[in-house]
């Protein structure tokens, strides 16, 4: 998830819902309690290292196996780059427009990763990723992430395999032409993720 989604939350108020494409009629036993959050040098003011891991109190065992459907995606290797000319997928329950309501149904969109240089031209130096940062910008044709999508995945294909290349972090607004959103790149955190998962 994104660090800013969980930084100020009390753990007892957070639960995970896994594998649902609709948030209506979620049964109480489908709300997975959380044991702890893990952050790595998260800076809430600047949104640096805007990534978090959530450890559930109990192991999740899916009720049914869906053949040939990898709904989780894979984590990329360190240094892996998204192809700029290939679309990436965004999914979430967030609003469809700025200051709108979150959605009951899981929505999907398509965006393209752009260079940090282009992002700085479009967003300005305050909001855009800086050189050497662990963030990247992506821009869609009328499709974008919005409030309520934070912490969701930016899924990009590499050699025909889908990877969770980034995590939705922030943006100035939603869905406006030439206004990209900013994502935390997962690759630089793989060593930390492996350490936490192995713990």
Q: What would the pLDDT profile of 180-191 be if each residue is shown by its tens digit?
A: 999 999 999 999
44 and 93, same domain (yes or no): no
Residue 82 CB neighbour total at 10 angstroms: 24
Look at residue 71 in the predicted model and tell me its pLDDT: 54
Farthest-apart Cα atoms in the chain, separation: 48
Which residue segment(s) compose the domain that 15 sits in?
3-67+189-198
Residue 47, domain member (yes or no):
yes
95 and 124, same domain (yes or no): yes
DSSP designation for 19: S
Look at residue 91 in the predicted model and tell me its pLDDT: 96
Q: Cα–Cα distance between 136 and 90 in angstroms, integer?
A: 14
Q: Cα–Cα distance between 12 and 36 in angstroms, integer?
A: 10
179 and 98, same domain (yes or no): yes
pTM for the full predicted model: 0.91
Q: CA dist 90 to 5, 14, 23, 130, Å? A: 17, 23, 18, 23
- In the chain, the number of structural domains is 2
169 and 194, same domain (yes or no): no
Q: Which two tokens stand for residue 65?
A: 């196996």
Residue 76, domain member (yes or no):
no
Q: What is the dihedral of CA 29, 4, 22, 35, to 10 degrees?
A: -10
Look at residue 67 in the predicted model and tell me its pLDDT: 46
Q: Cα–Cα distance between 156 and 154 in angstroms, integer?
A: 6
Give percent of the chain above pLDDT 70.
93
Residue holding tokens 């930390």? Answer: 192
| CATH number reported for the structural domain that contains residue 52 in this entry | 2.40.10
Q: Cα–chain-centroid distance for residue 104?
A: 18
60 and 148, same domain (yes or no): no
39 and 111, same domain (yes or no): no
pLDDT band at 66 (very low <50, low <70, confident <90, very high): very low
Q: Cα–Cα distance between 100 and 91 in angstroms, integer?
A: 17
122 and 161, same domain (yes or no): yes
Helix (H) / strand (E) containing 178? none
| CATH number reported for the structural domain that contains residue 146 in this entry | 2.40.10.10
Q: Cα–chain-centroid distance for residue 165?
A: 9
Q: Cα–Cα distance between 12 and 35 in angstroms, integer?
A: 9
Q: What would the pLDDT profile of 81-135 be if each residue is shown by its tens digit?
A: 888 888 999 999 999 988 899 999 999 999 999 998 999 999 987 778 877 679 9
């Amino acid at each position: 998830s994104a660090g800013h989604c969980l930084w100020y939350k009390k753990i007892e108020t957070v639960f995970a819902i896994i594998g649902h494409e609709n948030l209506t009629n979620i049964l109480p036993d489908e709300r997975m309690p959380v044991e702890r959050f893990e952050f790595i040098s998260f800076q809430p003011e600047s949104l640096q290292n805007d990534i978090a891991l959530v450890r559930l109190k109990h192991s999740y065992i899916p009720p049914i196996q869906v053949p040939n459907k990898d709904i989780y995606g894979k984590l990329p290797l360190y240094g892996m780059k998204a192809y700029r000319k290939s679309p990436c997928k965004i999914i979430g329950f967030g609003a469809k427009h700025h200051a709108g309501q979150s959605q009951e149904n899981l929505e999907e969109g398509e965006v393209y990763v752009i260079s940090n240089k282009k992002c700085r031209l479009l967003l300005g130096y305050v909001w855009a990723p800086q050189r050497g940062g662990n963030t990247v910008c992506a821009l869609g044709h009328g499709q974008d992430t919005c409030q309520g999508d934070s912490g969701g995945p930016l899924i990009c294909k590499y050699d025909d395999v889908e990877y969770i290349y980034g995590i939705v972090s922030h943006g100035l607004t939603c869905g406006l032409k030439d206004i990209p959103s900013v994502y935390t790149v997962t690759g630089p955190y793989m060593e930390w993720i492996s350490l936490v998962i192995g713990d």
